[in-house]
Chain A
Amino acid sequence: MADSIPYRKLPGSRRGMFFGSSVWMGPDHLLLVKSQRFQEEYKRFYFRDVQAIAVADAPRFHISSRAVAIAALWLVALLFTMGARGVSATWWLWLIAAALVAAWAFISAKGSCVCRLYTAVSADPLPSVYRRWTAKKFLALVEPRIREAQAALEGGWEEAVAGRQVGPEVARLPVRAPLSLFGAAPLAEAPRPEGRRRSVACFVFLAALLGEVALDAATLAAAIPAAVWIMMGLLAAQTAAAVFLFFQRYRGTLRPGMEKLALAKLVWMLALLYINMISAGVQNAARGQTAMVDQGAAWLVPTGSVLATADAVVAFALCAVGAVMTLRLDEAEPPSLRVT
């Protein structure tokens, strides 16, 4: 029966490596869909129950699967241009990459927001609405439907709701600062959200990434005798730190974010392994050799200037994002609606 309900996709979708979210509009309700790759969770908000929708400007540094796909395409293009010895094309690619990263950082910092929907018993964030222009389009579609379902709010409602609280009791507790929407008096200090923002494993992971960047840069400049062994040590440190990050996230002692970076790094390691093996196979075939020397764990170490550069860029990008996540102060949370 539920399948017969026609849903219309609303603007905004959040697609991560493993988690995603979107909001859909039904005949009399909004459907919040949270997907965990192989499972979807649904939450319905009936138009007649929605008390308020709040949108607060806040930085959102989200790496979507679309961004990952663009990065993968860029890497493939880079490999092709380097292979074809197209130096000017390579420079153009680096320029495009710098522009894309700068645009992403600017939009994430200045063009993002947090959207939250309030009913009498819930105050749910809408993860898919995380860009300002998306929020604008979302509100333009949703607001008329809610107003249609509820009678028009008479003027002077501020007096009518004076002293009234919006949303459930727990949602009204401000998360970081006493953020009062309409300039009301500051509220009492609220408990901090669970989990730390940083741990020793975070710093080990970031330090190993930074070491990898430095080693890649050094090997590009000059031959270093023990570079392979140092790199393998750094990769081992990253893997161990990643395991600790997963464990800490599972235990809930670490806030989300870093474990995704660790996962991205592990995926990149795996990709590097295959790229190394394939390129070695191609080179062997070009030389007319059929047997390939098994290099064991050394397959994980980038070989050649192209892969070393790409590895340095990836490690630097992950390190920069990780440093921002680890070292920044707590970001602004959705406002706690309280009209006084």
Chain B
Amino acid sequence: MPLPQSREASGEAWCTLCGARNRALAFPAILTAPPAAGGAAPALGGEAACFDHPNKHAEAACRQCGRYMCRLCSVEFGNEIWCPSCVAGRSGAAQAAHPETSRTLYDSIVLTLPLGSLLVWPVTALAAPGALTIGAARWKRPTSLVRRWRWRMPVGMAVALVEIGLWTWGILYLAARSGMAGK
């Protein structure tokens, strides 16, 4: 079906129903065939077979452990091929094929706990030691994958220390005052 002239010129098209403007950029990957499901070829007599599927023809060897794999089992990542068990176990260089999908931001927790608890200030009595403990225990844990600055952890711990100091001073002050009143 011929496309509207507007798309040819600017890559834009208008929805024929609601009139909203759409812009689409298409790339050559659009032309690649979708991955075939179960496309591993059967192994013939004398041919190398897949480690996990003995009746399937081996098409590659794992870069880490050298196991033969059929097309179904081969995990391609960064121009290298690994077997599923090496990828799952993150063994050796196969770790590269198992990128992180999430991270807990302990530095944000340590910063937010003492500052956020100021909204309901009595909670700082628990939040500040909690933040300090988490900060000490997770000091070496990596922070965000994209943020480069590591100021949250030390600043959060410093705020927590100040709050603990204020609590200690307050308790000592009240104790001293009640002691003086007793005399």
In the complex, residue of chain A having the shortest beta-carbon distance to the beta carbon of B108: A38
Task: For residue A146, give the distance in angstroms from its CB to the closest CB of chain B.
Answer: 5
- A157→B145 contact, CB < 8 A: no
Bound form: Cα–Cα A218–B101 in Å? 54
Q: Is the pair A270, B27 in contact by a Cβ cutoff of 8 Å?
A: no
- A10 CB to nearest chain B CB (Å): 11
CB neighbours of B1 from chain A (8 A): 162, 182-184, 340
Q: How far is the CB of B10 from chain A (nearest CB, A)?
A: 12
Q: Is the CB of B27 within 8 A of A150?
A: yes
Instruction: Give A42 to B99 CA distance when docked, in angstroms.
Output: 9
Contact code string B109-141 (vs A, CB < 8 Å = 1, else 0)? 100100000011000000000000000000000
Residue A189 lies at the interface, judged by CB distance under 8 Å to chain B = no
**Residues of A in contact, count (CB < 8 Å):** 65
Q: Nearest Cβ in chain A — how far from B75, in angstroms? A: 14
How many whole Å from B25's CB to the nearest CB in chain A?
A: 5
A37 contact set on B, CB distance < 8 A:
105, 108, 112
Task: Say yes or no for B183: interface residue by CB 8 A criterion.
Answer: no
A153: nearest residue on chain B (CB-CB)? B28
For A2, A44, A186, the residue with the greatest tally of chain B CB atoms inside 10 Å of its CB is A2
Q: Is A314 among interface residues, defined by CB-CB distance under 8 A?
A: no
* List of B residues within 8 angstroms of A31 by Cβ: 145-146
Question: A143 touches which one: B16, B25, B35, B95 (CB < 8 A)?
Answer: B25
Q: Which residue of B lies closest to A161 (CB)?
A: B30
Residue interface bits B135-162, CB-to-A below 8 A is 1, else 0: 0000000101110000000000000000
B82 to chain A, nearest CB (A): 15
Q: Which B residues are in CB contact (< 8 Å) with A196?
A: none
Stretch at the interface among A54-62, A81-89, A98-106, A219-227: A54-62
B29 at the interface (CB under 8 A from A): yes
Name the B residues within 8 Å of A178 (CB-CB).
17
CB proximity of B130 to chain A, nearest CB, Å: 13
Q: How far is the CA of A39 from the CA of B1 in the complex (A)?
A: 47
- With A38-B108, A38-B109, A39-B105 given, is the CB distance from A51 to B145 under 8 Å? no
Instruction: Chain A residues near B28: list those with CB within 8 A.
Output: 150-153, 157
Bound-state Cα–Cα, A3 to B25, Å:
31
Question: At the interface, yes or no: A194 with Cβ under 8 Å from chain B?
Answer: no
Contact call B145/A335, Cβ cutoff below 8 A: no
Q: Is B96 part of the contact surface with A, judged by Cβ < 8 Å? A: yes
Q: Are B35 and A161 in contact (CB under 8 A)?
A: no
Is A1 close to B, CB under 8 A?
Answer: yes
Whole-angstrom CA separation of A84 from B29 in the bound complex:
64
Complex CA gap A279/B88 in Å reads: 60
Cβ B30 vs Cβ A166 within 8 A: yes
A52 close to B (CB within 8 Å): yes
The CA-CA distance from A41 to B5 in the complex, in Å, is 40
A332: nearest residue on chain B (CB-CB)? B20
Q: Does A249 contact B (CB under 8 A)?
A: no
Q: Is the CB of B105 within 8 A of A40?
A: yes
Task: List 18 extra interface pairs beyond A22-B146, A335-B22, CB under 8 A.
Answer: A1-B95, A2-B100, A3-B145, A5-B145, A7-B145, A28-B78, A38-B104, A38-B109, A40-B103, A41-B101, A42-B99, A44-B99, A52-B25, A120-B32, A139-B23, A152-B28, A162-B1, A180-B16
Sample 22 A-B pairs with CB under 8 A, ordered by A number: A33-B145, A33-B146, A35-B105, A39-B104, A42-B99, A42-B102, A43-B101, A48-B29, A50-B27, A51-B30, A53-B24, A53-B25, A55-B22, A56-B15, A139-B25, A150-B27, A161-B30, A166-B30, A182-B4, A183-B1, A270-B119, A270-B120
